[in-house]
Structure 1
Amino acid sequence: MNALPPHPLAVKTTCAYCGVGCGILASPDGRGGASIAGDPAHPANFGRLCSKGSALGETLGLETRLLHPMLRDDDGALKRASWDVALGAVADGFARVIAEHGPDSVAFYLSGQLLTEDYYVANKLMKGFIGSANVDTNSRLCMASSVAGHRRAFGADVVPGSYADLDEADLVVLVGSNAAWCHPVLYQRMLANKRARGTKIVVIDPRRTESVEADDLFLGLAPGMDVALFSGLLVHLADTLALDYGYIDAHTANLTEALVRAREIAPDIAATARAAGLAESDVEIFFALFRNTPKVVTCFSQGVNQSAQGTDKVNAIINCHLATGRIGKPGMGPFSLTGQPNAMGGREVGGLANQLAAQMDFTPDNIDRVGRFWRASQMAQRDGLKAVQLFEAIARGEIKALWVMATNPAVSLPRAGTMREALRQLELLVISENVAGNDTLDAKPHVLLPAAAWGEKDGTVTNSERRISRQRAFLPLPGEARPDWWIVAQVALRMGFSHPFNYQSAAEIFREHAALSAFENDGDRAFDIGALAALSDEAFNAMEPVQWPARAGEAIGEPRLFAEGGFFTADRRALLIAPEKPSPHEALSAEFPFRLNTGRVRDQWHSMTRSGLSPRLAAHRPEPFVELHKNDVANLGLVDGGLARVTTAHGSVILKVVVSDGQRPGSLFAPIHWSDAAASSARVGDLVAAITDPLSGQPEAKATPAAIAPVVFGTRGFALTRTPLTLPSESWWSRVTLQNGHGLLFASNDAPAAWRARALEMFGTAELAEYVDEPAGLYRAAAFLDGRLIGCLFIGPAAVAPQWDAVKALFAEDLLDAAQRRAVLSGKSVAGLIDAGPMVCACFGVGLNTIRAALARGEATTVEQIGRRLRAGSNCGSCLPELRRLVDAGIQQPA
């Protein structure tokens, strides 16, 4: 008897989500799936993964995939086409528009989800051969202010330190960064350092987020006042003789101008506290901590970047590190935490409209240099349009053709609804995607091209600490899907640019990218990976993670930068920047009295086209919500758990109300993840104003004036089905992926009788068990087919909405016995099936009721014991704040 062939060995690759760049071991199961584990040898994570990374194996199915090229015919219908026909349509369409309207009438919009090699080829085509710089990326919405701040201060887009600095710092300052949820693997490194060495953590944020531990210093900053706070810190450091004048004199310039401006903004602690909306005593504590702790790392993220003054905020932070010489040394430095897996890689190859490849900008020397290296036929001569500008140009009819790759701008851009309508005006809209449906695809593209997805891609990504890692394929390309670099190169060939785009592999592209980084670079440009330019295909396949710079002829290590100066400005000195005075946001008014802050939640990612496929990730926050302070709830007649309409000058959505003491009074917080595909009225990008930082072009996503008012529905309920279900347009709903099926949480004004008729229609010829109590407004139905539960519909009064946790457990079973069948309509757990309750730990599927029961029985009385007993909190740690609240509250009874 022949033995079965062994499964392939685990493949070392990199996570698909945030900029931490965690290493992953993916073990294919031979059936199109894979088991996922952290790579213990990868220096970004040492084997740890967050909830999203741990659940990647649940997102590998092909049910939602775009698998074949599609072309829109003359009747407006998308029909399958061959690759040759589809690529020809793209090439001919772009050539025609360029011939009629010039190269600046076309654009590419890219994504931090692309690999570096994909980015490189797209930029080469547009900037070197089409002749326009209209290439921008969704990283513009993420980290562009950090890029601009780095370039102003350092002369290059460089993060000076490494993750190892988080292990050595004695003070970690988190500014506008909910690292516990958004970068949990790094946050756990910070906490480990805190436990081992007593490191202090200061969290600066308008919201008291999950990143604030009980013994941390929390500064609930007034929205947008980061420049005031760090200007005050610079003044304090100068007045207390805490500046490092040796470092300043040897390696920096412009201190006087920066300090004069800082004194104008925040002349003393009292003025700083007033401007920042903080208690003077808290400001004093923070300033003393920074002054007296040499080893300081200041981590900043979207709360700093996504601002109309984002670049100035970044530079105000960097000023304090430069002026104290706390940069580039172990445990010291400003640290930009990147949002996407390859935002840094995109920046390296010119993914931003104001950059050329190899982090060069549009100076005559650089244009000439890149042009000669590429042997380019038509080099772009100036910056292109940044993301918001680009889509506004589409709306004005100035951009006629657009190619969108691996992103969903109809959800993520400010004024997203307006942007989606603009896409419909294009003469040619091309979309390269791996999903068959999202909000941008609703804009009726002319050509759809099936791109490779994570697990099928091969190339490199660069994380937040400048570490280049291999992303390796461990699954075959399904259908006719192809790598993005191949798609772009094939279009270039058909446009007549033959030799420069005749690529055969990602390795070949990487070698060219590395060679360009070293071309005519005698150490005057920061980005240089010339040591990797001669890698063979075999060496590329085996390449271990490496930080740049990695210059030819020098030993490859893990370099920190700038401890001894050596900046990349003309005089090799860092520039301290005099920021503009913090300007008022759009004024609040009687019509819009709140500030809307947008952001991410723990277990979801961007517009949920990947993370939304995981039942585990869907369980923690299944409905789109708006978070606000309890005082605002009471004053407006809102109800915790009820529904509310959030409105701005640009649009409105309906969200679940969540009361939070951590929310600043007068402010709203709403997550960005829900799209029209995931919820009926929750696309938060529709609300955000298209106001941008004048230097970085990054939009202000944290301070749009808004209003909120209650929305009343008569009934609330849920539906569980084996196939996707569509509800009437007048209903409010949120779609949730379940194990073995689909779920909808909804609200409606229809009476139970109308839902009963709908149930009969929904479940067809299945055996239907029902419970009806019309006076109480209750209706419940369970549909069975051959003993299998195929659907449920529960409706009740909105004030006492039915809970679905126990029913979901039954629905997850394949076959139910008689007792279980009888129990379905009760909505309660039965013997042998535990109602775990609402999800707390997504990594191990541990629910609230399970944790409460362990506490009540005395099996676990501390967070550590919960981890040992139930595993909750023992992986990524992003649920630890919630576990601590449960323990601290002294909950003694199970639900």
Structure 2
Amino acid sequence: MSISTDEVPSEREKRFQLPTLLQRRTGPMTRELVLHPGEHGLGMTHDSMSADTTTTATCGYCATGCGLRLHLKDGEAVGLTPETNYPVNLGMACPKGWEALRVLDSAERATQPLLRDSGGELTPITWDDALTSFCEGMKSVQAKHGAESVAFLSTGQIACEEMAFLGALARFGMGIRHCDGNTRQCMATAVTAYKESFGFDAPPYTYDDFEQSDCMVFIGANPCIGHPIMWERVLRNPNNPEIIVIDPRRTETAAAATQHLQLQPKNDLPLLYAIANELIRRDYVDHDFVQNHTHGFESLRDHVSTFELESVCQNAGLSVDAVSQAIESIGRGNAVSLWWTMGVNQSYQGTRTAQAIINIALLTGNIGRPGTGANSITGQCNAMGSRLWSNTTNLFGHHSFESDADRAKVAEALDIPVERIPTTTSWKYNRIIEGIRNGEIKGLWVVATNPAHSWIDQGDVRELFDQLDFLVVQDMYQTTETCAHADLILPSAGWGEKEGTFINSERRYGLLKKVRHAPGQALADFQIFRGIAHRWGLGDMFAEWTSPEAAFRIMQRASRNQPSDITGIDGYEQIDRCGGIQWPWSQEQADGGFEPEQQRRLFADGHFFHDDQRARLIVDDIDLMPEPADEDFPIVLLTGRGTVSQWHTQTRTRQSPLLRSLYPNQPYIEMNPRDGDALGIDHGDLVRVQSRRGEAEATACLTHSVQSGQAFMPMHYDCTNRLTLSHFDPHSGQPSYKDCAVRIVPVLSSDHV
């Protein structure tokens, strides 16, 4: 679903009516739902504007990074429309973007600090008392259990400058060793794959590649729902591209594709190895590129030679002819791009699957040119910022804690003693959770994330949170599932109520602007960190961190000579003027005296970030699904994004009546009609979904979009992760949300009284 400002109605519509949903043909491949400006309740058409002025800011939902035109009256945003000149979205926005302001006006907002009293009730306190409670509580835990007994869990939802401040404050100031972000749940696999294959976490593409390809392969990705503006860019492609989707479900994207390889779950890695084998066998290899710019071809060739097409197709439930057609499309394409997202990342073998995708791009020379690339589509609005600046499992600016040179460089950039920087990295997210179980972690600081909803095997993590001595939650809403376990809640400002930068999927820094006052006593996360630094006794150490833009200057110093160098950016004003700036943009590049080009991709020169400048071709053995279906639990449960109008744990999207009207408010589960018949379940029946960890009730949706023996539940509902299994990719530590064994039984009316 997308909305274009090109479709302004001829007569002014009522501004607060529910949306009219229209279907229109957008091309030979698909239909889409379209909302017109003026029908959405909050945005304004240009002829109705009486605001003083407008400004453009980056949307704060997904990592597409759309530009939104904010209409101001007396300095406050009163409405918004998509920015027509922004190079990302070109005048389009999904429903979440249109409602970005509305969700700020909610009775669920955290508007004052809350402390749990001796009776177990959360009671209002002043900020002075809140900062004292935070520092005394965390220091007490450290005094009793050791400095490393406190951890934090961060996010891809706050600005780069806030992530940088949090990581530096906690790790270099407070002595917190173990910290991670919720980007571990979405992007860790892509990070690990890129680092090992390219030598740096370096998504190579730019969005213009959606419009330049003649063959596009989507693996475990459903951009029509997950990233609708990216899908709009696909629909603008003038090359009549082949669109190949590899996915167990017949998703909206698969339905629009020219080829759909509807494989059995977790057969993607052997399938990709078989495709690589056939590309080699049929001589679709770019031999010059492989010889001059890669390492490991012989090992890859020997490894994939055992993956014969016929046997792999039999195991995957695919026809040889269908896969052969896809291989020919890839091999014969002049500009082939391969795209993946959570269907690959959230897997126990996700890193190697991502690298199998990268291998295909490298083998065929489809990288560094327009319309090519092995391209990870990021999830959260600032997941890339978290990857570079959060100071969790990578040192500030994507350096290494283990490198003496990197530690010295970061210490100089931050003007702190090098002894303050740890020499070892942090535990990953799942190890921090295990640390709570083992009594190693007794204090936890959760910032702008909701793990009591989103973490795998949800019932387990909720019990563990109650074992902590001190749990602090810093969030813009006080009603999240994680806040229910908190000892202290710190109210924070949201998107539109503070400043900073986000980095989108194509490496573009975009501006977050303050166009609203946060409600009550809520503060920007940056200001909360400043308050904690002073109350902790670290004011002198962080004296330079006076504002987000001052922090950006520190980040620039630390980025020098990195692949992600941003020393050439001349501050926030240039980012704003240019419609965002992709990294790298170094001082050396800027010395040419011209503005950065809007669409820049990496590796055009064939040079990668390993010391020998060659990319690595990486292969590995296949792992079996940890919990396959069996007699007791005969259905494989898949989870993922539900609709365009839902987002993550629905903390924000449920605040919008309009968004709630566009998706089912109650949990549902998609089942194949044959399974429904076998189980005595009709469409619309209430069912109980049971796994070895918990159970959930949902409405049965009988559909051929899922295959027999499989089911699908959206991740957004708070019951879904009661079912999921705690198993993880061994390289990235990312949870495997996409597969576990369940049984589904009808709920009789008497059972539900």
What amino acid is aligned across from residue 546 of structure 2 in structure 1?
Q
The structural deviation recorded for 1:215 is 5.8
| Equivalence for 2:241 | 199
The structural deviation recorded for 1:543 is 6.4
| Equivalence for 2:737 | 701
The structural deviation recorded for 1:470 is 0.2
Alignment check: 8 A CA contact 2:478 2:489 kept: no
| Equivalence for 1:505 | 547
| Equivalence for 1:17 | 61
The structural deviation recorded for 1:31 is 11
1:480 aligned to which of 485, 506, 521 = 521
What amino acid is aligned across from residue 412 of structure 1 in structure 2?
S
Q: Aligned equivalents of 1:690 and 1:385: distance in 2?
A: 16
Alignment check: 8 A CA contact 1:174 1:298 kept: yes
Q: Aligned equivalents of 1:585 and 1:310: distance in 2?
A: 13
Partner SS, residue 530 of structure 1: coil
CA separation of 1:473 and 1:32: change in aligned 2, threshold 3 A:
closer
What amino acid is aligned across from residue 205 of structure 2 in structure 1?
G
| Equivalence for 1:649 | 692
| Equivalence for 1:804 | none
| Equivalence for 1:185 | 229
Alignment check: 8 A CA contact 2:70 2:77 kept: no
| Equivalence for 1:691 | 727
Q: Aligned equivalents of 1:572 and 1:368: distance in 2?
A: 25
CA separation of 1:69 and 1:8: change in aligned 2, threshold 3 A:
farther
CA separation of 1:212 and 1:379: change in aligned 2, threshold 3 A:
same
| Equivalence for 1:44 | 88
| Equivalence for 1:664 | 707
1:527 aligned to which of 564, 568, 572 = 564
What amino acid is aligned across from residue 364 of structure 1 in structure 2?
S
What amino acid is aligned across from residue 559 of structure 2 in structure 1?
S
The structural deviation recorded for 1:654 is 0.1
Superposed CA deviations along residues 604-632 of structure 1, whole A, max 9, x for unmatched, are 11111111112222123232100011110
Matches within 5 A, 1:152-163: 152-163=196-207
Structure 1 runs (4+) greater than 6 angstroms displaced: 30-33
Q: Aligned equivalents of 2:542 and 2:493: distance in 1?
A: 19
Q: Aligned equivalents of 2:111 and 2:330: distance in 1?
A: 54
Q: Aligned equivalents of 2:461 and 2:52: distance in 1?
A: 45
Indicate yes or no: 2:611 matched with 1:576.
Answer: no
The structural deviation recorded for 1:539 is 5.3
| Equivalence for 1:174 | 218
CA separation of 1:217 and 1:80: change in aligned 2, threshold 3 A:
same
| Equivalence for 2:537 | 496
| Equivalence for 1:549 | 584
The structural deviation recorded for 1:391 is 1.4
TM-score with structure 2 setting the length: 0.89
The structural deviation recorded for 1:564 is 1.9
What amino acid is aligned across from residue 685 of structure 1 in structure 2?
N
The structural deviation recorded for 1:442 is 1.3
Alignment check: 8 A CA contact 2:509 2:575 kept: no
Alignment check: 8 A CA contact 1:106 1:399 kept: yes
Indicate yes or no: 2:378 matched with 1:338.
Answer: yes
CA separation of 1:62 and 1:55: change in aligned 2, threshold 3 A:
closer
Indicate yes or no: 2:681 matched with 1:638.
Answer: yes
| Equivalence for 2:445 | 403
- Segments of structure 1 that go 5 or more residues without pairing to the other structure are 676-682, 715-729, 731-747, 750-895
Alignment check: 8 A CA contact 2:203 2:505 kept: yes
The structural deviation recorded for 1:128 is 2.1
The structural deviation recorded for 1:96 is 2.5
Alignment check: 8 A CA contact 1:645 1:711 kept: yes
Alignment check: 8 A CA contact 1:32 1:60 kept: no
Partner SS, residue 27 of structure 1: strand
Alignment check: 8 A CA contact 2:53 2:73 kept: no
| Equivalence for 1:323 | 363
Q: Which has the larger radius of gyration?
A: 1
CA separation of 1:358 and 1:76: change in aligned 2, threshold 3 A:
same
Q: Aligned equivalents of 1:53 and 1:211: distance in 2?
A: 21
Partner SS, residue 63 of structure 2: coil
What amino acid is aligned across from residue 397 of structure 2 in structure 1?
A
Superposed CA deviations along residues 469-499 of structure 1, whole A, max 9, x for unmatched, are 0011111122111111221222122222222
Q: Aligned equivalents of 1:582 and 1:357: distance in 2?
A: 34
Indicate yes or no: 2:119 matched with 1:82.
Answer: no
| Equivalence for 1:95 | 139
Matches within 5 A, 1:615-764: 615-619=657-661, 620-675=663-718, 683-713=719-749, 749=753
CA separation of 1:540 and 1:572: change in aligned 2, threshold 3 A:
closer
Partner SS, residue 152 of structure 1: helix
Alignment check: 8 A CA contact 2:54 2:70 kept: yes
CA separation of 1:540 and 1:270: change in aligned 2, threshold 3 A:
closer
Alignment check: 8 A CA contact 1:33 1:60 kept: no
Q: Aligned equivalents of 1:398 and 1:331: distance in 2?
A: 49
The structural deviation recorded for 1:78 is 1.8
Q: Aligned equivalents of 1:384 and 1:408: distance in 2?
A: 20
Alignment check: 8 A CA contact 1:457 1:472 kept: yes
| Equivalence for 1:382 | 424
Q: Aligned equivalents of 1:239 and 1:482: distance in 2?
A: 60
| Greater CA drift, 309-318 or 568-577 | 568-577
Superposed CA deviations along residues 766-814 of structure 1, whole A, max 9, x for unmatched, are xxxxxxxxxxxxxxxxxxxxxxxxxxxxxxxxxxxxxxxxxxxxxxxxx
| Greater CA drift, 274-283 or 95-104 | 95-104
The structural deviation recorded for 1:29 is 5.6
Alignment check: 8 A CA contact 1:507 1:540 kept: no
Q: Aligned equivalents of 2:512 and 2:168: distance in 1?
A: 22
What amino acid is aligned across from residue 696 of structure 1 in structure 2?
S
CA separation of 1:129 and 1:263: change in aligned 2, threshold 3 A:
farther
Superposed CA deviations along residues 572-596 of structure 1, whole A, max 9, x for unmatched, are 2111101222423323221111111
What amino acid is aligned across from residue 583 of structure 2 in structure 1?
W
2:483 aligned to which of 421, 428, 441 = 441
| Equivalence for 1:59 | 103
Matches within 5 A, 1:183-582: 183-193=227-237, 196-213=238-255, 216-264=258-306, 266=307, 268-350=308-390, 353-365=392-404, 366-374=406-414, 375-376=416-417, 377-443=419-485, 445-502=486-543, 503-518=545-560, 521=561, 525-532=562-569, 535=571, 544-555=579-590, 556-557=596-597, 558-582=599-623
Superposed CA deviations along residues 103-149 of structure 1, whole A, max 9, x for unmatched, are 32111111111111111011112232334441211111111100000
Superposed CA deviations along residues 737-766 of structure 1, whole A, max 9, x for unmatched, are xxxxxxxxxxx53xxxxxxxxxxxxxxxxx
Alignment check: 8 A CA contact 1:549 1:559 kept: no
Matches within 5 A, 1:761-800: none
Alignment check: 8 A CA contact 1:172 1:202 kept: yes
What amino acid is aligned across from residue 725 of structure 2 in structure 1?
A
1:150 aligned to which of 188, 194, 198 = 194
What amino acid is aligned across from residue 9 of structure 1 in structure 2?
T
Alignment check: 8 A CA contact 2:448 2:474 kept: yes
Partner SS, residue 266 of structure 2: coil
CA separation of 1:583 and 1:294: change in aligned 2, threshold 3 A:
farther
Matches within 5 A, 1:799-838: none
Superposed CA deviations along residues 223-253 of structure 1, whole A, max 9, x for unmatched, are 1111111111111111111111211121110
Q: Aligned equivalents of 1:308 and 1:613: distance in 2?
A: 34
What amino acid is aligned across from residue 143 of structure 1 in structure 2?
M
Q: Aligned equivalents of 1:39 and 1:517: distance in 2?
A: 30
Q: How many residues align structurally?
A: 693
Alignment check: 8 A CA contact 1:229 1:276 kept: yes
Partner SS, residue 665 of structure 2: coil
- Segments of structure 2 that go 5 or more residues without pairing to the other structure are 1-48, 591-595
| Greater CA drift, 94-103 or 199-208 | 94-103
What amino acid is aligned across from residue 488 of structure 1 in structure 2?
F
The structural deviation recorded for 1:14 is 1.3
TM-score with structure 1 setting the length: 0.75
